[in-house]
Amino acid sequence: MGKYRLSRDGFSWSRLFLVILIVICCAAIVWTGNLLFTNQISITAGIIVILAAIGVLIWNISLQQRYKARACTVFAVFIVTILIAATVCAFSGVEPLSTMKQELTTSIERFTGQTQEQFLSDQKYPAHISGRVVIADKVIAKNKDTQNRIELISSEDKVWWVIDISVKNIGCEEEITASYDRWAVEADAQIYYAKSYMDMIPASYPMNVIIGQTGQTTFRFLVPDGLRVGEAKLIYQGSGAAFYGTLSGGEKVPLYDWDSRTVVKEPIEDYIVSNKRMQLRTIANWQGSESTPIRFKASKSPWVVNWKYEKVSKIGYKFDILVIDEAEYEILAKNAATNWASFSELWGSAWSPDKYGSIVVPKAGNFVVLINASGVKWWVKVGVE
């Protein structure tokens, strides 16, 4: 049994890696706890990272106390732990890991698209077409007659696919154009055509590609929410037979600016502020149907909370909203005063707002937005100047 005991004399790579791994695990637990506390990571993802770190920490301590481990084994566990934590955080939107994940995904998709394009070439299509998809909740554009900015109409179960299309005309005798009635997306035996907007806003950007030339254009399609990019194909219908192209991408964004062809991470939207309408920059938004506390860190002041809700129950409904300092919330929570009435007493009395409204908060800091709801679907957003 002596050969399995941890050596306690001299330098050991195994022991060094174990010590480093202990530090990494402890740091991961503290860091993930902070992300959970500030709502920067989902509860599920945070629990996965914390449990993985605790498991590795227990394994580490047991090796330190009882057995000798090979350096390569400890190093392998060290690398795997870091990869698992980084992957979970990247898919949970934690920066800069999320951006790195997006760049890696883009590179892989670009390589896959080139491979698919070569396959299409082997199929003797008269043109190579490919498109990169951005999935937008909203699209805004300028009315060419009034010059006013308007939001393009969609519905609750539909989203906008904004597709940047690249075309290489190999042997199509007629020029390939950006006429919206020639382009479509096909998925699950359904065809979704490029959308015009009552001639007020162009459906696409101009493009005319003759044999031997290349071109680019951008289209927008209104498709079912949940449609997967990998299950869809791009179609161009010329005067002869239709031919197909590949789609990649699928980044989800809150808003797409059609005029500048750019993604807007913090959209400018209408807000109600003291019974007046203002244009503010949206820095956070949530939606749901149940009661929940939302932790929010305001780095700039003043800031405005806007809400709206709609009834989904025929039996009964309620919706109340409060904004409270996080410190006061913690005091009430520690005193077991977690029922809605206790929190409302802080403001004087319980109350029910209109179907839409606002709260202006004049200072920065850590806050909790308390939602008390049932029988409704609600939306809440935070705006600043």
The whole model's pTM is what?
0.49
Q: Which residues pair with 201 in a beta bridge?
A: 197
**Which string of DSSP letters, residue by residue, matches 264-307?**
ESS-EEEEEETTEEEEEEEEEEEEESS-EEEEEEE-SSSEEEEE
Tokens of 219: 């289209």
Position 43 confidence tier, pLDDT thresholds 50, 70, 90: confident
Give the β-pairing of 242-257 and 127-142.
parallel
pLDDT value for 297: 87
- H/E element, 380: strand 376-384
**362, 323 in Cβ contact below 8 A?**
no
Per-residue pLDDT reduced to its tens digit, 156-175: 688 899 999 999 988 888 89
Closest Cα partner for 244 from 183, 194, 190? Answer: 183
CA distance 221 to 161: 5
Residue 143: is its pLDDT beyond 60? yes
Report the percentage of the chain scoring pLDDT > 90.
10
Closest Cα partner for 2 from 63, 71, 68? Answer: 68
Using the Cα atoms of residue 213, residue 217, residue 222 and residue 225 in order, give the sign of their dihedral.
Answer: positive
Per-residue pLDDT reduced to its tens digit, 316-366: 888 888 888 888 888 777 765 455 555 555 443 334 455 677 888 888 889
**Mean pLDDT confidence for 37-65:** 72
Higher-confidence residue of 15 and 176: namely 176
pLDDT value for 106: 61
